């Protein structure tokens, strides 16, 4: 029904923005990444998805069509509603979401607050074959060592996205030891 929205930003919170269109303020729920790019007074264009239920009427906004399509795919997974879908999109990058689905690694989704093992498995099963890889994209499965390094980086104060990006940036010939991978990922952050 409402496919996109363009207007002036009048108020921003961590997960929503109010957009003024001809004197009417529309509240649009957004990801943390989108919220961090906005400033009051600027004009914004968002791809939107309008949800109407017995207990909810809400507009969800996305920076691009790919993010919106992924949100809609997540809504098709049993146990995932709009709030959980936005949480996934706020916690993981589109790259990491694609990587997790294509390489069948539900552990990526386990880092998202509110997503348990069973739901993560459902995401992989439901989304398998529905997420195309980009040209030139190849993914290797993460090892248990990679999981340990990611957990260590998170404990050191890095975000899930930062930790996963650092592990993905490791050279393919890196020895599969926690110590060596952690040393190299910490060097990644120093650059």
pTM, 2 dp = 0.70
Identify the domain containing residue 53 by its residue range.
Answer: 4-62
Kindly state whether residues 69 and 56 are assigned to the same domain: no
Query: What is the predicted pLDDT for the residue at 175?
Result: 83
Low-confidence ranges of the chain (pLDDT < 70): 132-143, 191
Best CA proximity match to 146, nearest among 165, 127, 128, 131:
165
Question: Mapping DSSP to helix (H, G, I), strand (E, B) and coil, where does residue 81 land?
Answer: coil
Kindly state whether residues 115 and 164 are assigned to the same domain: no
Q: Which H or E run includes 8? A: strand 4-12
> What is the number of domains present in the chain?
3
Query: What is the predicted pLDDT for the residue at 140?
Result: 54
Kindly state whether residues 77 and 23 are assigned to the same domain: no
């Amino acid at each position: 029904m409402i496919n996109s929205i363009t207007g002036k930003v009048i108020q921003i919170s961590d997960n929503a923005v109010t957009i003024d269109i001809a004197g009417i303020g529309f509240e649009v729920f957004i990801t943390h990444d989108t919220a961090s790019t906005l400033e009051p007074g600027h004009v914004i264009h968002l791809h939107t998805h309008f949800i109407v239920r017995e207990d909810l009427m809400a507009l969800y906004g996305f920076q691009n069509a790919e993010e919106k399509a992924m949100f809609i795919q997540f809504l098709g997974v049993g146990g995932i509603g709009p709030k959980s879908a936005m949480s996934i999109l706020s916690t993981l990058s589109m790259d990491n979401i694609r990587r997790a689905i294509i390489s069948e690694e539900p552990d990526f989704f386990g880092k998202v607050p509110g997503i348990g093992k069973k739901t993560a498995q459902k995401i992989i099963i439901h989304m398998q074959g529905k997420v195309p890889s980009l040209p030139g994209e190849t993914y290797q499965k993460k090892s248990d060592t990679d999981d340990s390094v990611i957990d260590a980086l998170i404990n050191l104060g890095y975000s899930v996205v930062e930790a996963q990006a650092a592990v993905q940036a490791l050279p393919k010939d890196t020895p599969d030891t926690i110590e060596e991978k952690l040393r190299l990922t910490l060097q990644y952050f120093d650059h």
